[in-house]
Amino acid sequence: MINLELPKKLRASANQAHQVAAEIFRPASRKYDLAEHEYPVELDTMAAMVEGLADSGTQDISGATGGRKTEGKTEGEDKVHATELLGNSNGGNMSALLNALETSWGDVGLMLSIPYQGLGNAAIAAVATDEQLERFGKVWAAMAITEPSFGSDSAAVTTTATLDGDEWVLNGTKIFVTAGSRATHIVVWASVDKSKGRAAIKSFVVPRDAPGLTVARLEHKLGIKASDTAELRLEDCRIPKDNILGSPEVNVEKGFAGVMQTFDNTRPLVAAMAIGVGRAALEELRTILTEAGVAISYDTPAMNQHAAAAEFLRLEADWEAAYLLALRAGWMADNKKPNSLEASMSKAKAGRMGTDVTLKAVELAGALGYSERTLLEKWSRDSKILDIFEGTQQIQQLIVARRVLELSSTELK
């Protein structure tokens, strides 16, 4: 029998995140949606709390260790034997996924603004060496991939990194960098040798105050307005030689696989964000329908219920499917199982579900849903980006097709 319940240690962490979402994020949600680019001072408390949890060993920062710690290192030999026998581990990825889900239930824009919770942290976890993880495990890292010349085609990176003695010199422009002006570090994708194509693309950890790195502007956006989205310029930006994540060697045979490992960690997290926003919308919609006298029954066939109730049941089932796919992808990452297919499946499903659920909730709630008296209209705006960044819906479906059909990127474009 398959047990789909969360283990106690994950439930405790998720409950903490939910309390933060309910007590800090929800009350401030509308305030920072209307005050775009204003720094949420409430997050200063969050920064101290997250750092304290990490220092005490109670909780990993944003899953920054990415499940790389073994149970035995912190909980004794018996745990090592138990993990080996059961072959089952729930670590940084699952913890980060559930924390992202719960805090996004409160406000996804504020969630993306939490110190130490940047998507760059998951990138560091994916490809950093143990020594680099020690150095960068507690930084707040944003991730800079997209450029003015491309969006989802990550292989089209034009930013360059040239080795000059003991330093890398980076040149290029990055756009739509989430937390780009607030994060302490930026994980930048750049090519070390453009003649060798995508295999030469590496990721670099660039301190926010590195000489040559500037914020060109902040974007005005449809949603997640509490989060700063920046355009960054790198002009002869110098960083230490050992700030390249992983090996500096260009392996043409391995190709693009090294840096793409990043997405195996981050895509389930973005899926979790969409799942959190979707659950918030479903809960609000259920309250509105119940108050309007629409009964929702799990014992009566949908076709024999009110049309709004039948639609609610469809949306809820879609949400459940996205939730289970995300859990699977996160669990596989923690257990060192290749999860590229599952990560893209969870991102594709959750991204589409999030926009469908939130827009349908606005529709079913009528004038109330379109007004600012509830957060439904805000959630519908916030959810769209979750179907776009970290790879669009179309890109995820393309990756899934390649994996299922066992075709390369040159064979299936």
Do residues 123 and 36 lie in contact, with contact meaning Cβ atoms separated by under 8 Å? no
Q: At which residue do the structure tokens 């219920």 appear?
A: 305
Q: Which amino acid is at 255?
A: G
Interhelix angle 340-364/393-405, rounded to 10 degrees, is: 140
Signed CA dihedral, 215, 385, 390, 407: sign only? negative
Provide the token pair at 137. 């495990």
End-to-end CA distance of the chain: 40
- Range 274-310 burial, b when 16+ CB lie within 10 A, else e: bbbbbbbbbebbbebbeeeebebeeeeebeebbebbb
CA distance linking residue 57 with residue 69, whole number of Å: 12
**Overall size of the chain counted in residues:** 413
Strand 167-178 vs strand 229-240: parallel, antiparallel, or unpaired?
antiparallel
Provide the token pair at 384. 């769209």
The full DSSP string for 205-243 is EEETT-TTEEEEEE---SS-TTS-EEEEEEEEEEEEGGG
Q: Is 390 a catalytic residue?
A: yes
Do residues 146 and 174 lie in contact, with contact meaning Cβ atoms separated by under 8 Å? yes
Identify the active-site residue in 71, 311, 316, 390: 390
CA distance linking residue 88 with residue 91, whole number of Å: 10
Q: At which residue do the structure tokens 């769209």 appear?
A: 384
Q: Which of 218, 328, 223 is nearest to 268 (CA)?
A: 328
Instruction: Give me the active site residues, please.
Output: 390
